[in-house]
């Protein structure tokens, strides 16, 4: 019995779920149970968007120190505009629009990798510079556009089955697939190997360049998908739609138990961390605190969680 408990507690992702449960309980304790289910439904919906980009960011961060995709917000903004433009408010063109968003995100990922590889720029700076350029394209492209999603697509992103958003169900399927990709495929094991020791991975015959390329392309594509979904859910695209996902995507990856040093990833933790962050905001909103207090508490709670959960790693 103790062994089972010990093994569960040793899983790094359990803490993020425990944290999510805790803030949810605190919120419904405050409202005396009122709106408990609605809170969960809303949290599941919003967590989906963080989970999708979080998974992409997780693969990138797992590649090793310095690997991070800072172009996600700009990427999401551009893809949301592209998707809505291609869909043009017509339900028959939803698939085409989604494809365009995926393609747009993929292109961003390819550009990121080209900057990293061909110009040998550190990924942080490369994706940052790329995001500047993308942002300008988006501003110039999206100016004066009337961008609304097709009604069918917007409704689809808001459908619920027994209070569970359909997007959340799809996202769970998606994360399971991501978990399989990470742990059970040559690609996923290669990502982990590169994160542990790039030189050793190369000497072991892993085609490091291709794996890194695929990872940045994957992160970009997921950013594109997220942009299209966000534009559907919030019924409209805009330049700033992805802004909060820069910090959120990194935060869920690390709170979820993925090592920033690379080589150690955790898929379930992303869900726990995303729910935790969303429910944390819900809780603070329920308490009715001001924006400043909410930010301060969010910050301290993130630091506290990471201190409680992230400290057991053996030093390198």
Contact between 122 and another protein per CB under 8 A:
yes
- Site membership for another protein, residue 281 (CB under 8 A): no
Place of tokens 């120190």: 65
Strand (E) or helix (H) holding 160: strand 160-161
Please list, in sequence order, all residues whose beta carbon lies within 8 angstroms of the beta carbon of residue 306, skipping any fewer than 6 positions away.
254, 255
Of positions 236, 260, 264, 287, contacts another protein by CB under 8 A: 260
Quick note: the x/- pattern for another protein over 193-232, rule CB under 8 A, is ----------------------------------------
- In the complex with another protein, the residue whose CB is nearer, 133 or 208, is 133
**Least separation in angstroms between CB 38 and another protein:** 26
Gyration radius (Cα) of the chain, Å:
20
What's the CA angle centered on 220, arms 122 and 19, to 5 degrees?
90
Give the interface size with another protein as a residue count (CB under 8 A).
52
Q: Binding of another protein at residue 254 (CB under 8 A)?
A: yes
> Does 172 engage in binding with another protein (CB under 8 A)?
no
State the Cα–Cα distance between residues 130 and 213, nearest whole angstrom: 15
| Rounded-to-integer distance, Cα 225 and Cα 62, Å | 21
Task: Name 161's bridge partners.
Answer: 164
Q: What's the DSSP call for residue 159?
A: -
Does position 303 interact with another protein (CB under 8 A)? The reply is yes
Per the CB < 8 A criterion, the answer to whether 51 and 229 are in contact is no
Could you tell me how far CA 170 lies from the centroid of its own chain? 15
* Minimum distance, C-beta of residue 68 to another protein, in the bound complex (Å): 8
Nearest distance from C-beta of residue 84 to another protein, angstroms: 19
Contact residue for another protein among 53, 84, 130, 198 (CB under 8 A): 130
Angstrom distance (rounded) from CA 110 to CA 203: 25
Binding another protein (rule: CB under 8 A), the pick from 37, 38, 66, 151 is 66
**Stretch of 91-99, 191-199, 210-218, 285-293 lying at the interface with another protein (CB under 8 A):** 285-293
Distance between CA atoms of 138 and 166, rounded to whole angstroms?
A: 29
List residues binding another protein (CB under 8 A): 65-66, 68, 70, 115, 119-122, 124-126, 128-133, 135-137, 139-140, 143, 247, 250-251, 254-255, 259-261, 290-303, 306-307, 310-311, 313, 315
């Amino acid at each position: 019995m103790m062994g089972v408990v010990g093994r569960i507690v040793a899983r790094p992702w359990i803490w993020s779920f425990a944290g999510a449960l805790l803030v949810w309980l605190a919120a419904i304790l405050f409202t005396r149970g009122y709106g408990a289910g609605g809170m969960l439904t809303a949290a599941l919906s919003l967590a989906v968007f963080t989970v999708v980009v979080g998974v992409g960011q997780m693969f990138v961060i797992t590649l090793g120190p310095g690997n991070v995709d800072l172009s996600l917000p700009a990427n999401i903004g551009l893809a949301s505009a592209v998707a809505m433009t291609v869909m043009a408010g017509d339900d028959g063109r939803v698939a085409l629009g989604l494809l365009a968003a995926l393609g747009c995100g993929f292109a961003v990922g390819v550009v990121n990798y080209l900057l990293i590889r061909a110009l040998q720029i550190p990924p942080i700076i490369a994706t940052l510079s790329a995001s500047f350029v993308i942002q300008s394209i988006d501003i110039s492209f999206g100016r004066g556009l009337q961008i609304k999603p097709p009604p069918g697509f917007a409704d689809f992103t808001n459908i619920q089955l027994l209070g569970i958003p359909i997007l959340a169900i799809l996202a769970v399927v998606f994360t399971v697939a991501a978990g399989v990709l990470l742990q059970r495929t040559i690609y996923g094991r290669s990502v982990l190997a590169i994160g542990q020791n790039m030189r050793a991975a190369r000497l072991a015959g892993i085609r490091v360049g291709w794996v890194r390329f695929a990872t940045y392309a994957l992160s970009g594509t997921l950013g594109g998908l997220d942009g299209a979904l966000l534009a559907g859910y919030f019924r409209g695209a805009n330049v700033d739609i992805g802004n909060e996902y820069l910090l959120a995507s990194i935060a869920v990856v690390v709170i979820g138990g993925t090592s920033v040093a690379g080589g150690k990833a955790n898929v379930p933790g992303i869900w726990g961390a995303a729910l935790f962050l969303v429910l944390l905001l819900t809780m603070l909103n329920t308490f009715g605190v001001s924006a400043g207090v909410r930010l301060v508490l969010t910050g301290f709670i993130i630091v506290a969680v990471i201190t409680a959960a992230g400290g057991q790693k053996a030093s390198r």
